[in-house]
Structure 1
Amino acid sequence: MDESQLQKRAQEQPQPVRTGKPTAEADLRASDADRDRIADILREALAEGRLDSSEHSERLDQVYAAKTMGELEPLVRDLPVGRTTAPAPAPAARGGYHYAPDPSGENPNLVGILGGAERKGRWRVGHRITAVAIMGGVEIDLTEATFTSPELVIHCTAIMGGVSVKLPENVTLRGGGVVGIMGGSDVKAFEAPDADAPVVRIDGFAFWGGVEAKAKRGKKVKDWTKKNLES
């Protein structure tokens, strides 16, 4: 094969497809870490009095519903964000609560299909739990857990089954995020006396099933102390 034939074959090879302009940052899909970063900024703003509780709750709902970065950034555009964007080398402490770094906590996926699944006892819970109950049940007991993140989201799916969540009585519980179709939720929402207490948010879906969350009398959230860090 001579040189002219080699050049002709090279020209016939498929060329890379050009996709045009790169995706704008605002159009990028948001990750769980992005949502958590914005949620941290909002919690700081609440603690400093820059937002009241209703504004904080409304914006937090929008954070966890956001799909893109362009939906997240406007939620903190009017807030100072410099201090919260950089990770702190030590555990964050606010009020009477001390939180460990996120990686130290568990973010379990609990699945009960034609059976049951549970997580209880003394354990370190992270920032997210996913519970799926299909013709079965899932029990989540946080009454003896150590909270390693200021906010915990429990995403529930109950199809002809049920998800039950038990909590310490001095954390904040927020519900209203469970969609019920021939099913429903019984989330007994309450606000902790301390604004810096951990926040537990319940959301998800119930079809011919149910989601229940309530506090257990006499159980208090465990503080994350230096002793815990060294254990």
Structure 2
Amino acid sequence: MENPPQRRDSQTSHLRASDSDRERIATVLGEALSTGQLSHEEYSERLDGLYQAKTMGELEVLTHDLQVDRPRPAASPVSYAPSANSEPENIVAVFGGAERKGRWRVRRRTKAFAVFGGLRFDLSEAQFEAKEVEITVNAVFGGAEIIVPEGVEVRCSGVGVFGGFDVQSPPDVDPSAPVVVVKGLALFGGVSGRVRRRRER
């Protein structure tokens, strides 16, 4: 187990931390995990400290030894809300519809099923639990629409049988943004995707 980081003094260390401050630190920790600077155990320990921190000083010590860029509030179109353990979210639309929008939490895995119904996932203001999330859509005589913010990479491996998957990645991908993997089956149905530009918000 790593030794706890030492507290540092700064002009802002006494200020109370906000949710957006915690989100920025969570992004830094996630990037450090993906680049090998933190082990999974260290990442989990610092993540625990992140959600217990009350001041900016307590947040600063969690990242002072990491070689990553500190993201600014307006620098990224997405935010992270990591979770050490996450169960898949199951969404069902039968002869009806289901929608996720606003600042909802995108789980590491989402399983959606539509039968004579419609699904809509708007990720433009969502919080992502991980750098890579997976959305599995099975649509039978139904459909789904997936909306992603600018910079987010989309990888589609869905199969269409008398239906189709039309989910493409934006042309300009931000390496620091999450990756959305879309899987599933469209049987007499369709799954489509589009990018929501910042000016549309």
Same fold (TM over 0.5): yes
1:86 and 2:67 matched: no
Q: 1:213 deviation in Å?
A: 1.5
1:187 and 2:143 matched: no
CA contact (8 A) 1:158 1:207 kept: yes
Query: Which residue of structure 1 lines up, in the alignment, with residue 18 of structure 2?
Result: none
CA contact (8 A) 2:135 2:182 kept: yes
CA contact (8 A) 2:151 2:170 kept: no
Q: Which SS does the other structure have where 1:90 is aligned?
A: helix
Q: Which amino acid aligns with 2:110?
A: I
**d(CA) in 1 for partners of 2:142, 2:173:** 33
**d(CA) in 1 for partners of 2:40, 2:154:** 26
Q: Which amino acid aligns with 2:144?
A: V
Q: How does 1:1-231 map to 2 (within 5 A)?
A: 44=34, 83-88=38-43, 89-91=45-47, 95=69, 96=71, 99-103=80-84, 107-175=88-156, 177-190=157-170, 192-218=172-198
TM-score (norm: length of structure 2)? 0.61
Q: Which SS does the other structure have where 1:86 is aligned?
A: helix
Q: 1:156 deviation in Å?
A: 0.5
Q: Which amino acid aligns with 2:187?
A: F
Q: 1:212 deviation in Å?
A: 0.8
Larger Rg: 1
Q: Which one has a larger percent helix, Structure 1 or Structure 2?
A: 1
Note the residue ranges of structure 1 that are not aligned, 5 or more in a row.
1-39, 48-80, 221-231
Q: Which amino acid aligns with 1:113?
A: V
- CA deviations on 1:205-226 (whole Å, 9 max, x unpaired) are 1100011112111179xxxxxx
- CA deviations on 1:92-129 (whole Å, 9 max, x unpaired) are 98653774332587842111111111111122222111
Q: 1:173 deviation in Å?
A: 1.2
Q: 1:196 deviation in Å?
A: 2.1
Query: Which residue of structure 2 lines up, in the alignment, with residue 33 of structure 1?
Result: none
**d(CA) in 2 for partners of 1:192, 1:147:** 19
CA contact (8 A) 1:106 1:124 kept: no
- CA deviations on 1:16-69 (whole Å, 9 max, x unpaired) are xxxxxxxxxxxxxxxxxxxxxxxx9xx83xx5xxxxxxxxxxxxxxxxxxxxxx
Note the residue ranges of structure 2 that are not aligned, 5 or more in a row.
1-29, 48-61
**d(CA) in 1 for partners of 2:146, 2:109:** 13
Shift in alpha-carbon separation, 1:82–1:111, aligned structure 2, 3 A? same
CA contact (8 A) 1:169 1:219 kept: no
Equivalent residue pairs, number: 145
Shift in alpha-carbon separation, 1:129–1:192, aligned structure 2, 3 A? farther
TM-score (norm: length of structure 1)? 0.54
Cα RMSD (Å): 3.2
Shift in alpha-carbon separation, 1:219–1:110, aligned structure 2, 3 A? farther
Shift in alpha-carbon separation, 1:212–1:219, aligned structure 2, 3 A? farther
